[in-house]
Chains A and B, each alone.
Chain A
Amino acid sequence: MNNRTSEIFEILSKGNFICSNAVDNQQRYLYTYLEEHFDDLEPKFREIGFQLEEGNNYYYFSRFNESNPNVESKIEKALRWLDILAFFTTFRKDLCRGARFKPLDILNQVEINLPMKEQLQNLRKKTVAGKNYQEMLTDLLKEMQKEGFIDLENELEQTWKILDSWDYLEKMVTAVNIQDENEANANPAQNSGN
């Protein structure tokens, strides 16, 4: 039983998720394993400073006493996630966990949808810049894959699947409170009217 513990730790401590709908068999197995042994594993990880968190069909780690939190990088990351979420939402409104999409469809949209084109350009990382839209999108997808939010389900058909961890991003967004929401709602409309 213990050998799984290290495997799980390896994944979660890197900031990844373990999802119930992972493409990889092994990961799916780890999810059920975690589900079954949650009560054993949770105290174990807590002892070494990691809180095993249970999301909606996924698991991840949190730290309960961070020694030196890098606030700036966290905010940067959260903002980037918001940008990414906005990009995918602009592409398809019903895109949520379990959904599948093809990069080609996104590219077709990018072609005709100017805001999407701009968003994709802005999402490009300065260091490893893809030259064309397709490369930019590939970079973006790989980044999301690495962070454990999506995975390539069918390489031949280039079908990507949105994993359960996507819910984490949405939870992050829904948790945000907007002050004087009405005003904030009204303002963009005003601005666009100008």
Chain B
Amino acid sequence: MAKFEKIEELIGELNKHKKLFAALFDKRMFPIQEEMILPLVDHDTEKLERLAAYNLLVRGQSQVGLESRLQEFFEEFLEVDETVHVLYIQENLNQIKANQSYYLKENQAIKREQYLTKIKKHLRRIDQVTLQNVKTLRNNTDETYKTEINFDIKKEKLTDIRTQRDALEGVIKAVERMIQDDLFFKTATDAELQLIIHRLRLTLNDSVHNLIEVQQQIIEYLNHIEKRVQIVDKVLLLKSLRDKHYLKERTNFYQLAAQNADIPISQAESFRTRLAIESLGSDEERQKLIFKVRDKMNNRKLLAQNKAGAISDEAFESREQIEESFNLNSLKQIFLGKSQDLFSFTMQHRFNNEVSPQQRIQLYCRLASLFESEFTFSDQTGTYENLEYALIYPASVTTAGFAQPRRND
């Protein structure tokens, strides 16, 4: 197995294939087919072989993946770690205790300094890891509850998270106790160590608060699941009782259903309302509806009874009657333009149709009475057959100039 001699070489190698590693990291959740990433190494399988030889990636049966140490390294630095590392904190804690012991027993100043540096390093690690772990735990809780579809797995996962949480809390408490009670940390004179302890204390405090919240969340979720389990069990139990015809005997299901006066379980109420008569006639929309309903009516029999008979041919014959009438007004106008007396005018005027003397005499009377104001009635009279009539002239014409009326016939 090849090994890097210098850090520069390792970093150089990573840098050279950064696109490949980024791609592998993005797809770390799934198996990756080798052909998918070949373009990233210029289709050079030898490069893959080389990387595998240096333990930067693992190859197997046309699948590739990031080497697990590298993956963890990336995850931790990018803070996307999805696992909670309780033991990791514990390990650091153990290291601190061991180094502390060496430190106290060591007499050489240089070596003591080295132990102290190690202690500081482990304290920093705890600081970094703890908060990250709490965050991860929190995310995992929510994510599990919301996205896990399989009911049983969900419950199990949440229970596991609860165990992890308890363990994490235990470790954090242990670290807290150590920096709280241990004389070594209490009496630390090193300024840097004091600063680290101070920061760590804040972090731990923060973490514990967060953990309490997570605990409440988990309890709530688990309670909810517990409730669901109860309902699910009850439903299935009742169903099995029903299928075996025990439901009526062994439960009060029937009584409850019978007593239930909720509308959803009862047959839906239907309200029959009638249309207001007034709106039927006045509302145009309604009238359209009435026609529509009528069109749709299937009861042809009723409609047939309602139908009127055929219209008789007689109805189509027109019986026009023309009643002739005189246009009195235009007759008067014509008369006004003449210098005749009215009686002679009516007797002599040529009408379109035949007009009898009797009608002409009537016309004379009507004109005389209708347009009295426009005519001048003279004192003289004329006679026609055995009738005597007044001589009437248009008002504008004086009677003086007129001679005796001519006798007709």
Q: Which partner residue on chain A sits nearest B224 by CB separation?
A: A96
A184 adjacent to B237 (CB under 8 Å):
yes
**How far, in angstroms, from A176 to B233 measured CA to CA in the complex?**
13
B322 on the A face (CB < 8 A): no
Q: Given A60-B264, A184-B241, A188-B240 in contact, is the A14-B258 Cβ separation under 8 Å? A: no
A75 adjacent to B257 (CB under 8 Å):
yes
B239 on the A face (CB < 8 A): yes
Q: Given A15-B268, A93-B232, A184-B246 in contact, is the A75-B254 Cβ separation under 8 Å? A: yes
B409 on the A face (CB < 8 A): no
**How far, in angstroms, from A170 to B236 measured CA to CA in the complex?**
12
A14 adjacent to B261 (CB under 8 Å):
no
A129 on the B face (CB < 8 A): no
**How far, in angstroms, from A179 to B266 measured CA to CA in the complex?**
26
B263 adjacent to A174 (CB under 8 Å):
no
A12 adjacent to B263 (CB under 8 Å):
yes
Contacts of A15 in B (CB 8 A): 263-269
Q: Which partner residue on chain A sits nearest B241 by CB separation?
A: A184
B235 adjacent to A74 (CB under 8 Å):
no
A104 on the B face (CB < 8 A): no
**How far, in angstroms, from A86 to B232 measured CA to CA in the complex?**
8
B15 on the A face (CB < 8 A): no
B102 on the A face (CB < 8 A): no
Q: Which of A62, A83, A178, A179 contacts B237 (CB 8 A)?
A: A178
Q: Which of B149, B247, B250, B267 contacts A94 (CB 8 A)?
A: B149
A47 on the B face (CB < 8 A): no
A94 adjacent to B258 (CB under 8 Å):
no
Contacts of A82 in B (CB 8 A): 235, 238-239, 242, 253
Q: Which partner residue on chain A sits nearest B230 by CB separation?
A: A174
Q: Given A75-B257, A93-B228, A184-B246 in contact, is the A177-B251 Cβ separation under 8 Å? A: yes
Main secondary structure on B side of the interface with A: helix
Q: Which of A64, A77, A188 contacts B265 (CB 8 A)?
A: A77
Q: Which partner residue on chain B sits nearest A76 by CB separation?
A: B257
Total number of B residues with any Cβ neighbor in A under 8 Å: 41
A94 adjacent to B241 (CB under 8 Å):
no
B303 on the A face (CB < 8 A): no
Tell me how far the C-beta of A94 lies from the nearest C-beta in chain B, rounded to whole angstroms. Answer: 4
B242 adjacent to A79 (CB under 8 Å):
yes
Q: Which partner residue on chain A sits nearest B239 by CB separation?
A: A86
CB within 8 Å of A: which of B264-321? 264-269, 271
A75 adjacent to B258 (CB under 8 Å):
yes
Contacts of B230 in A (CB 8 A): 174
B251 adjacent to A178 (CB under 8 Å):
yes
> What string of 1s and 0s marks CB contacts (under 8 Å) between A54-82 and chain B?
00000011111010011101110111001
Which of A's residues lie within 8 Å of B, judged by CB? Answer: 12-17, 50, 53, 60-64, 66, 69-71, 73-75, 77-79, 82-83, 85-86, 89-90, 92-94, 96, 147-148, 168, 170, 172-180, 184-185, 187-188, 191
Q: 21 A-B pairs, CB-CB below 8 angstroms?
A: A13-B268, A13-B271, A15-B265, A15-B269, A17-B264, A61-B263, A63-B262, A77-B257, A82-B253, A85-B239, A92-B149, A92-B151, A94-B154, A147-B264, A168-B264, A176-B252, A176-B253, A177-B251, A180-B250, A184-B246, A185-B237
Can you name 9 extra interface pairs (CB under 8 A) apart from A75-B258, A174-B231, A184-B250? A17-B264, A69-B258, A69-B266, A78-B253, A83-B242, A94-B228, A172-B256, A178-B237, A184-B237
